């Protein structure tokens, strides 16, 4: 498949006058329609904007490649357009787009993922220095198409020769060989642009290179064990996880895919100068060196290790917590209003509470286990699990069985990190063992010594953790009304501060930990209620604002606003992130204010939530659901009106640009 097989003269428009991203998309859809590629412009438009909502298809340096794979495409095709004055396309480098290619791919037939192949070819062609400038200077569609045809013939003929040389079978004598892996989150344009930039720079420096691309269509030009064994070094330019264990013991530089595009010479030169650190897969202790030459930040590593534990813990917390909440709801519907057996009085309620309780009680062991695994790989998992169980039971030397008072969430956190670093210490101690003992390390030495040591350590620190946990529970139980409302205000505001980021996660972890030690007055359940309502407000407030104050938002934003109603009601705060990222100085203060008001009101109304998730769907399980609903609506309107005051109305021509054509209903 070549670009000149999909692009015709009728699909090329030069020196176009474009007013907006929506206008650019519409003009290019008309070009594809003229080529006979699409049967339904509205359906294809919807596919294009659905893809744009995932992430912009602008790739930087003035280039955008919108694309869609939908049933409305009759045959694959490409449209091309130059925009000398540029158009804002939400590009990652903030630069206006002057060259656009739109790819239409049918949902079935014509081979699999033809649009990915077209994207790959375009990325390779456009990475050639000066080629974009030549296209922009083309004096007619014929010249534009001729330039592409000639460059394709030259590029892909040369590429095949280069791949043969870089395969390790035709290596020029004495020439350094470098390997590389490129991968971006979507696996499309940036993956192949980084590969092309590294290839071009290696040619200029007289270095042989082989680049593996881990794209949306799978791995291409895969590195073989022979390649890895004989290379001088490996550049891993990725923005997502790729298979790294195969590089054990080899010089590796791990960096971002953007660095692969923008700084290929520096990366290659580090390999040639012998500055790439040796990668050790067994302990995950690779000294990750970026182009700046700095190692990973310690705080960043700790946060990633914590989030590994949290991400594995949440399904147990959410699933188990909601089942427990259903047990309370069943007993309430049966006329039971409280008491020590509330939630297990009826047989049905007891079933839900037992199953949910088993799942919920896995929270602390899973948290500790996967924190340890993030630090020390699989050998840390068992030791972390045991440490989490010891924390959960509050085991001490005087009471090894425990079970009376738990060391709680803090104890499990310590257990996870201690277990991980215990295993790293054991690995260093065992590194001098004879190779004949290599096989017994993971199955005998690490688990036996690790579990024994974590037992000793947790028995020592559990008394302190229990004291802190009991003190925190007592503090929550003794809060007066004013202090409780202030707590709700802070928790609610934190949930909207970065919507899924570290501050949001800290508030949520505190709330879920409070569920396991709610206190005599149910303060932990009240904190959970304030936490959830604080996370629900941002997307709902934005959705309400796009409905009541439409002239503050573009057609695309108004469409996204509709989706936020569903996300907000489902307690998915991340729905507000695109709006916050686009206009943080106005959106974030508005959302923080709205969430803080809701959190404070929820606390003032005495609302309690036994489930750690669920949004509007667990409203019947909340004590004082009417008050909770009032608090939610109040926060929505506060956030909505503050945002409307801070955001100025858009110029009428921007707001009305696509209104007459029905874009608001059809674009997304």
Active site residues: 67, 184
Count CB neighbours of 340 within 10 A: 6
CA-to-CA distance for 94 and 38, rounded, in angstroms? 31
Please check whether residue 402 is in contact with residue 390, taking contact to mean a CB–CB distance below 8 angstroms: yes
CA-to-CA distance for 30 and 41, rounded, in angstroms? 8
Residue 401 buriedness (CB in 10 A; 0-12 / 13-18 / 19+): exposed
Residues 6+ away with beta carbon under 8 Å from 640: 541, 542, 544, 545, 548, 549, 590, 594
CA-to-CA distance for 148 and 157, rounded, in angstroms? 14
DSSP 180: E
CA-to-CA distance for 286 and 535, rounded, in angstroms? 37
CA triplet 491, 496, 497: central angle to 5 degrees? 95
CA-to-CA distance for 361 and 323, rounded, in angstroms? 13
Q: Where are the alpha helices (DSSP H) in 1-140?
A: 3-6, 21-34, 41-54, 114-126, 131-137
Please check whether residue 190 is in contact with residue 59, taking contact to mean a CB–CB distance below 8 angstroms: yes
What is the three-class DSSP state of 396?
A: coil
Kind and range of the H or E run holding 189: helix 189-204
Count CB neighbours of 130 within 10 A: 7
CA triplet 122, 196, 159: central angle to 5 degrees? 85
Provide the β-strand partners of residue 253. Answer: 235
Nearest Cα neighbor of 198 from 215, 188, 183, 187 is 183
Please check whether residue 198 is in contact with residue 267, taking contact to mean a CB–CB distance below 8 angstroms: yes
DSSP 90: -
CA-to-CA distance for 83 and 95, rounded, in angstroms? 13
Question: What are φ and ψ of residue 568, in 5° steps?
Answer: -65, -45
Count CB neighbours of 107 within 10 A: 12
Nearest Cα neighbor of 382 from 411, 414, 419, 412 is 419
Question: What are φ and ψ of residue 253, in 5° steps?
Answer: -110, 120
Residue 202 buriedness (CB in 10 A; 0-12 / 13-18 / 19+): buried
> What is the DSSP annotation of 398-428?
S-TT--SS--HHHHHHHHHHHHHHHHHHHHH
CA-to-CA distance for 220 and 225, rounded, in angstroms? 15
């Amino acid at each position: 498949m070549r670009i000149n097989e999909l692009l015709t003269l009728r699909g090329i428009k030069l020196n176009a006058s474009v007013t907006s991203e929506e206008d650019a998309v519409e003009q290019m859809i008309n070009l594809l329609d003229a080529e006979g590629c699409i049967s339904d412009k509205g359906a294809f438009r919807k596919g294009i904007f659905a893809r744009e909502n995932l992430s912009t298809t602008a790739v930087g340096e003035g280039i955008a490649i919108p694309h869609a794979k939908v049933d409305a495409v009759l045959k694959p095709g490409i449209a091309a357009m130059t925009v000398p004055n540029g158009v804002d396309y939400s590009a990652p480098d903030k630069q206006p787009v002057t060259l656009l290619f739109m790819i239409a791919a049918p949902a079935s037939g014509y081979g699999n993922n033809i649009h990915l192949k077209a994207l790959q070819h375009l990325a390779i062609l456009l990475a050639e220095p000066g080629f974009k400038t030549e296209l922009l200077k083309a004096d007619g569609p014929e010249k534009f198409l001729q330039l592409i045809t000639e460059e394709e013939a030259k590029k892909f003929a040369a590429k095949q020769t280069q791949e043969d040389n870089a395969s390790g079978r035709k290596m020029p004598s004495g020439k350094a060989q470098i390997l590389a892996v490129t991968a971006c989150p979507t696996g499309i344009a940036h993956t192949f642009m980084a590969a092309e930039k590294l290839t071009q720079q290696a040619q200029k420096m007289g270095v042989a290179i082989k680049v593996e691309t881990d794209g949306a269509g799978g791995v291409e030009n895969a590195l073989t064990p022979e390649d890895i064994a004989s290379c001088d070094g490996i550049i891993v330019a990725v923005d997502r996880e790729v298979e790294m264990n195969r590089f054990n013991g080899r010089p590796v530089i791990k960096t971002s895919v953007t660095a692969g595009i923008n700084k290929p010479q520096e990366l290659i030169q580090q390999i040639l100068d012998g500055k790439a650190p040796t990668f050790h897969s067994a302990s995950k202790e690779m000294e990750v060196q970026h182009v700046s030459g700095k190692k990973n930040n310690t705080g960043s590593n700790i946060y990633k290790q914590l989030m590994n534990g949290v991400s594995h813990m949440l399904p147990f917390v959410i699933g188990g917590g909601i089942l427990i909440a259903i047990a309370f709801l069943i007993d309430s519907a049966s006329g039971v209003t409280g008491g020590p057996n509330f939630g297990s009085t009826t047989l049905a309620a007891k079933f839900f509470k037992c199953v949910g309780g088993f799942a919920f009680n896995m929270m602390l062991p899973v948290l500790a286990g996967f924190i340890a695994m993030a630090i020390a790989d699989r050998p840390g998992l068992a030791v972390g699990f045991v440490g989490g169980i010891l924390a959960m039971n509050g085991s001490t030397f005087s009471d090894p069985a425990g079970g009376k008072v738990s060391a709680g969430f803090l104890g499990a956190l310590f257990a996870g990190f201690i277990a991980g670093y215990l295993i790293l210490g054991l690995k260093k101690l065992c590194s001098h063992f004879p190779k004949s003992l290599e096989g017994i390390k993971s199955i005998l030495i690490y688990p036996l010594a690790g579990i024994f040591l974590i037992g000793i350590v947790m028995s020592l620190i559990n008394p302190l953790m229990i004291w802190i946990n009991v003190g925190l529970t007592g503090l929550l139980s003794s809060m007066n009304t004013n202090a409780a409302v202030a707590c709700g205000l802070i928790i609610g505001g934190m949930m909207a501060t970065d919507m899924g980021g570290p501050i949001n996660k800290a508030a949520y972890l505190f709330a879920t930990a409070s569920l396991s030690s709610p206190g005599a007055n149910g303060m932990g359940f009240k904190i959970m209620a304030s936490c959830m309502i604080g996370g629900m407000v941002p997307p709902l407030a934005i959705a309400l604002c796009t409905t009541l104050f439409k002239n503050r938002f573009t057609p695309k934003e108004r469409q996204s606003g509709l989706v936020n109603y569903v996300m907000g009601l489902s307690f998915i705060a991340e729905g507000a992130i695109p709006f916050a990222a686009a206009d943080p100085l106005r959106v974030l203060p508005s959302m923080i204010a709205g969430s803080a008001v809701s959190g404070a009101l929820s606390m003032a109304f005495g609302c309690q939530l036994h489930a750690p998730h669920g949004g509007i769907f667990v409203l019947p399980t909340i004590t004082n659901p009417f008050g909770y609903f009032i608090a939610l609506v109040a926060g929505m309107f506060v956030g909505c009106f503050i945002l409307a005051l801070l955001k100025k109305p858009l110029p009428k021509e921007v707001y009305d640009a696509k209104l007459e054509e029905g874009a608001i209903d059809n674009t997304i």
